[in-house]
């Protein structure tokens, strides 16, 4: 029997009398990858917080490397060799990448002197280890989401941690970076470290983990070897009921061209010469590496950063338009569900009803005054239709699970009755059940004649959902594949078309 790195037994935790964890036991052996799965709200995040010292358990005990830890703190966790890669990267936006790494890695008195040259060297080294070309001198606030995620991974590598907790580390990564991550995991394993791996991407779990523990409603349902369980059983265990995995793609008759781009460029976002079109009733998948310009393209189309006036043109339903602000985009019937749900997609502190109506306030108001009854009614309609799990429309969105938050974000854009809907990573950080529902919804919307542009880093999702797939590379389009020609390999080949140094 290999020695235990971590053993948590009978951990219970409740907030305000509502229990989040009930007598959860979990252990991690040396050289092991132990996957922790469950739907959002199952208690994974709370469990991680307890292990990393961010929260104190009500009951239960923690033993790390044979040492009983009665009172865990973030600083103690660090010194014990526990590193966490959070789902939401927690970087310091005003500081450079190098310094971000240093803050996570260096220890010692706060009165010590900082060695900038050493910091810089170390940062370069670590970033190279992840295979991403990020300049350590850049301010973290200018990094894209996936780049931030990579910095988080570099932190964990640098920490030489015995126990690395990865909470959805691949949520915004392309396969290319995921492979890098797996090699990092392999390295950790070889050094007899342990990894607690949390992901909604089941194929990854099966590829990388040794054991799987399923949490549901704050309780441990099962812990078993990965080889001893198959995919449908795992899903069933997680959600507590049998379910279809994902909505099947159905052939549809594509309509007129809803949106057409002719040589569109955006210097300030590094987009150049993009030409493509989407038809009504069609799902256009957009794939590409991190930093290839997918999100930037979406932001250009939505008017957040208008396209260059002097080059290229955008046509909506055949008419040339200039989209210079989001409100202009909305008036043209373009909706955009952004990548960063918590910061951009919804307003966490506002209730469901206000969130759903935020982009279509005219529809629920007369002469500038909001008709609250109409607003509630409209929101209730979406809650029912999208099966948003919430007791009422006046609940703050921040209290909902990721999947339900995403549905609220979708409701906001459905309420403008869009002709064109841009979805940026629509299922990122969303649990299995909600994911399937969102997939079904996308198919349904396309079936009703909406032109859908779906950006996703998860290739199986892109392949399963799209009618055609556009692949981006270094700020421009490197190819468009039809559903029949598309395979993971071909997409990846297009995404890597030019030398990797070309991409930032």
Q: List binders of other proteins among 368-397 (CB under 8 A).
A: 368-370, 390-392, 394-396
The Cα–Cα gap between 341 and 345 comes to 4
- In 3D, which of 245, 217, 197, 240 has the Cα closest to residue 40? 217
Q: Cα(287)–Cα(460) distance, rounded to whole angstroms?
A: 11
Contacts with other proteins in 27-86 (CB under 8 A)? 45, 52, 54, 73-75, 77-78, 84, 86
Place of tokens 């009854």: 373
- Structure token pair of residue 232: 């449908």
CB of 138 to other proteins, least distance (A): 9
H or E stretch covering 379? helix 372-385
> CB 310 → other proteins: shortest distance, Å?
16
Binding mask 332-371 for other proteins (x = CB under 8 A): ----x-x-x-xxxxxxxxx---x--xxx-xx--x--xxx-
The neighbouring-strand residues paired with 6 are: 28, 64
Give the containing element (helix H, strand E) for 266. Answer: strand 257-266
Instruction: Say if CB 453 and CB 422 are below 8 A apart.
Output: yes
Hey, which residues between 443 and 502 contact other proteins (CB under 8 A)? none
Identity of the residue, 217 or 497, whose beta carbon is nearer to other proteins in the bound complex: 217
Taking the complex as a whole, how short is the minimal distance between the CB of residue 361 and other proteins, in angstroms?
Answer: 4
Q: Which residues of 5-20 are buried (b: 16+ CB within 10 A; e: fewer)?
A: bbbbeebbbeeeeebb
Nearer to other proteins by Cβ, of 110 and 242: the residue is 110
Min dist CB 2 to other proteins, Å, is 29
Structure tokens belonging to residue 323: 């989209």
Q: How far is the CB of 107 from other proteins (least distance, A)?
A: 8
Residues shown for the chain: 504
Nearer to other proteins, 281 or 351 (CB): 351
CA nearest neighbour of 184 among 37, 97, 49, 85: 85
Q: Which of 254, 314, 329, 464 binds other proteins (CB under 8 A)?
A: 329
Candidates 176-184, 212-220, 330-338, 483-491 — which segment interacts with other proteins by CB under 8 A?
A: 330-338
Residues 241-300 touching other proteins, rule: CB under 8 A, are 268
Residue in 79, 81, 65, 72 with CA at minimum distance from that of residue 165: 81
**Number of residues lying near other proteins (CB under 8 A):** 90
Site for other proteins in 166-185 (CB under 8 A): 167
For 115, the token pair is: 């060695």
What is the smallest separation between the CB atom of 75 and other proteins, expressed in angstroms? Answer: 4
CB of 31 to other proteins, least distance (A): 26
Q: According to CB under 8 A, which residues from 184 to 243 bind other proteins?
A: none
Residue 410, interface with other proteins (CB under 8 A)?
no
Closest distance to other proteins from the beta carbon of 349 (Å): 5
Task: Answer for the pair 408, 381: CB distance below 8 angstroms, yes or no.
Answer: no
Nearer to other proteins, 171 or 264 (CB): 171
Rank residues 275 and 392 by Cβ distance to other proteins and give the closer one: 392
Q: How far is the CB of 370 from other proteins (least distance, A)?
A: 6
Task: Tell whether residue 326 is a contact of other proteins (CB under 8 A).
Answer: yes
Rounded Cα distance between 33 and 208, Å, is 7
Ranges within 83-142 binding other proteins (CB under 8 A): 84, 86-96, 98-99, 102-104, 106-114, 116, 120, 136-137, 139-142
How far the first Cα of the chain sits from its last, in Å, is 45
Mapped onto helix, strand or coil, the DSSP state of residue 88 is coil
From 161, 165, 244, select the one nearest 197 (Cα to Cα): 165
> Are 413 and 421 within 8 A, CB to CB?
yes
Strand pairing category for 194-198 and 163-167: parallel
Of 398 and 447, nearer to other proteins (C-beta) is: 398
C-beta closer to other proteins: residue 77 or 452? 77
Residue 17 or 70 having the CB closest to other proteins: 17
Nearby residues of 121 by Cβ (< 8 Å), 6 or more positions away: none
DSSP class of 27:
E
Selected binder of other proteins within 304, 315, 321, 440 (CB under 8 A): 304
Residue (180 or 344) nearer to other proteins, CB: 344
- Are the beta carbons of 495 and 471 closer than 8 angstroms? yes
Q: Which is nearer to other proteins, 114 or 242 (CB)?
A: 114
State in angstroms the smallest separation of the CB of 153 from other proteins: 16
In whole angstroms, the minimum distance from the beta carbon of 55 to other proteins comes to: 10
d(CA 150, CA 157): 11
């Amino acid at each position: 029997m290999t020695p235990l790195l971590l053993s948590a037994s009978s951990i219970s935790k409740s907030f305000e009398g509502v229990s989040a964890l009930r007598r959860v036991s979990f252990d991690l052996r040396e050289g092991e990858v132990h996957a922790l799965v469950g739907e959002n709200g199952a208690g994974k995040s709370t469990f991680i917080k307890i292990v990393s010292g961010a929260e104190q358990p009500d009951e239960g005990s923690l033993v790390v490397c044979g040492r009983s830890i009665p009172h865990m703190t973030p600083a103690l966790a660090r010194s014990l060799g526990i590193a966490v890669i959070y789902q939401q990267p927690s970087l310091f936006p005003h500081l450079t990448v190098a310094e971000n790494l240093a803050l996570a890695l260096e220890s010692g008195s706060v009165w010590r002197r900082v060695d900038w040259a050493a910091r810089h060297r170390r940062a370069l080294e670590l970033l190279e280890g992840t295979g991403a070309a990020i300049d350590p001198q850049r301010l973290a606030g200018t990094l894209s989401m996936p780049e931030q995620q990579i910095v988080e991974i570099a932190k964990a590598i640098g920490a030489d941690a015995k126990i690395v907790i990865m909470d959805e580390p691949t949520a915004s990564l392309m396969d290319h970076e995921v492979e890098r991550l797996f090699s990092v995991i392999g390295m950790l394993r070889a050094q007899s470290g342990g990894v607690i791996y949390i992901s909604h991407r089941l194929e990854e779990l099966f590829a990388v983990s040794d054991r799987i523990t399923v949490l549901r409603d704050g309780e441990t349902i099962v812990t078993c070897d990965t080889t001893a369980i198959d995919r449908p059983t795992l899903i069933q265990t997680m959600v507590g009921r049998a379910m279809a995995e994902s909505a099947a793609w159905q052939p549809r008759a594509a309509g007129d061209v809803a949106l057409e781009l002719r040589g569109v460029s955006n210097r300030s976002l590094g987009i150049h010469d993009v030409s493509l079109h989407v038809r009504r009733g069609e799902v256009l998948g957009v794939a590409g590496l991190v930093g290839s310009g997918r999100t930037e393209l979406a932001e250009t189309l939505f008017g957040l950063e208008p396209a260059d006036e002097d080059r290229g043109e955008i046509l909506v339903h055949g008419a040339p338009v200039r989209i210079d602000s989001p409100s202009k985009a909305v008036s043209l019937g373009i909706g955009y569900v952004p990548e960063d749900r918590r910061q951009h997609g919804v307003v966490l502190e506002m209730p469901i009803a206000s969130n759903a109506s935020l982009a279509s306030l005219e529809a629920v108001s007369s002469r500038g005054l909001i008709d609250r009854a109409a607003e509630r009614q409209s929101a209730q309609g979406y809650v029912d239709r999208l099966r948003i799990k919430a007791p009422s429309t006046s609940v703050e969105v921040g209290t909902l699970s990721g999947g339900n938050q995403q549905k609220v974000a979708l409701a906001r854009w459905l309420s403008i009755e869009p002709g064109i809907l841009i979805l940026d990573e629509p299922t990122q950080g969303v649990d299995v059940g909600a994911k399937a529902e969102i997939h079904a919804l996308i198919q349904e919307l396309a079936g009703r004649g909406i032109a859908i542009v779906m950006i996703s880093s998860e290739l199986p999702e892109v392949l399963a959902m799209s009618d055609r797939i556009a692949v981006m590379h270094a700020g421009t389009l490197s190819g468009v594949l039809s559903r029949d020609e598309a395979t993971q390999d071909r997409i990846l080949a297009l995404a890597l078309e030019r030398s990797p140094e070309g991409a930032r």
